[in-house]
Copies of this chain bind each other. A is one copy, B any other.
Amino acid sequence: MTLEAPAAAEDTLSRHRLRRIDTGKSGAPDGDGAAIPEAPREAWQGAFPLQPERRTTRARHTIYRAGEDLDGIPLVYSGWAARVRRLSDGRRQILSFILPGDLMSASAIFCDRLSFFVEAITDVRYSVSQRTQVDEVLARDPQLVRTLVSACLAEKAEVEELATDLGRRRAEERIARLFLQLKTRMEARGQISGLSFDMPLRQQHIADATGMTVIHVGRVLGTLRNDGIVHIAGGTLTITDLAALHRLSDI
């Protein structure tokens, strides 16, 4: 598990992407003040009553490299990250976004080596619970094991939905669905006001998540804005026509 490693050197095709050393601001939904919403609201909230190690990774840096040994189970408590697969020629696919309160991957509990990278989008603070300690807790609580297996299955189902989106839906549809998904997740965290929420993703992230090019993402966002459906400004996403967004999303 690597901390604070610059991503530039390894990024074959990085076109300015991830290159700059972050300065600590970058529109993150969390200030750097004291009031960090540290509590994960998920089912495994009480699962790790341990003394985890605390770490930080700055925006645009890689938190975990595919294939490395995980030295513990990481849980994000502030900032956004992404699980991403990289191809040898630099193409990238984001598998999911990791929001505060999320395990970096539910798989990490049962497996100490993952097949994808985890990259910080904003500055990310996370805790790493020691595997041996977690295993002890799990051994005493079979019900918790079930819960965590379910979390894995949920993650799997999410990726299956992503695959369907990428294989069978069109650009506008995919973006609309991404936004609705983010809205739902932010809602669950109580981090939405009206139909707006903090959303630190750059167009490049949206492109890598929806299998598009940045430029086309920009165009689609443009039409969504002109049609009065969604607009992004200053790191905030605002839904101006929820019904239309649902219509586009086929939800």
A residues near B (Cβ < 8 Å) are 85, 87-89, 91-93, 95, 107, 110-111, 115-116, 146, 149-150, 152-153, 155-157, 159-164, 166-169, 210-211, 250
Contacts of A150 in B (CB 8 A): 110-111
Contacts of A88 in B (CB 8 A): 250
Q: A160, B211: Cβ atoms under 8 Å?
A: no
Q: A107 contacts which of B93, B156, B164 (Cβ < 8 Å)?
A: B156
- What is the copy number of this chain in the assembly? 2
Bound together, the chains give a CA A111 to CA B160 distance in angstroms of: 16
Most chain B CB neighbours (cut-off 10 Å) among A87, A116, A159, A250: A159
Q: A167 contacts which of B107, B111, B210 (Cβ < 8 Å)?
A: B210
Q: A167, B166: Cβ atoms under 8 Å?
A: yes
A84: nearest chain-B partner, CB-CB = B164
Bound together, the chains give a CA A93 to CA B162 distance in angstroms of: 10
Chain B: minimal CB distance from A60 (Å): 20
Bound together, the chains give a CA A214 to CA B221 distance in angstroms of: 30
Bound together, the chains give a CA A156 to CA B110 distance in angstroms of: 13
Chain B: minimal CB distance from A232 (Å): 21
Q: B149, A110: Cβ atoms under 8 Å?
A: yes
Chain B: minimal CB distance from A204 (Å): 13
Q: B153, A107: Cβ atoms under 8 Å?
A: yes
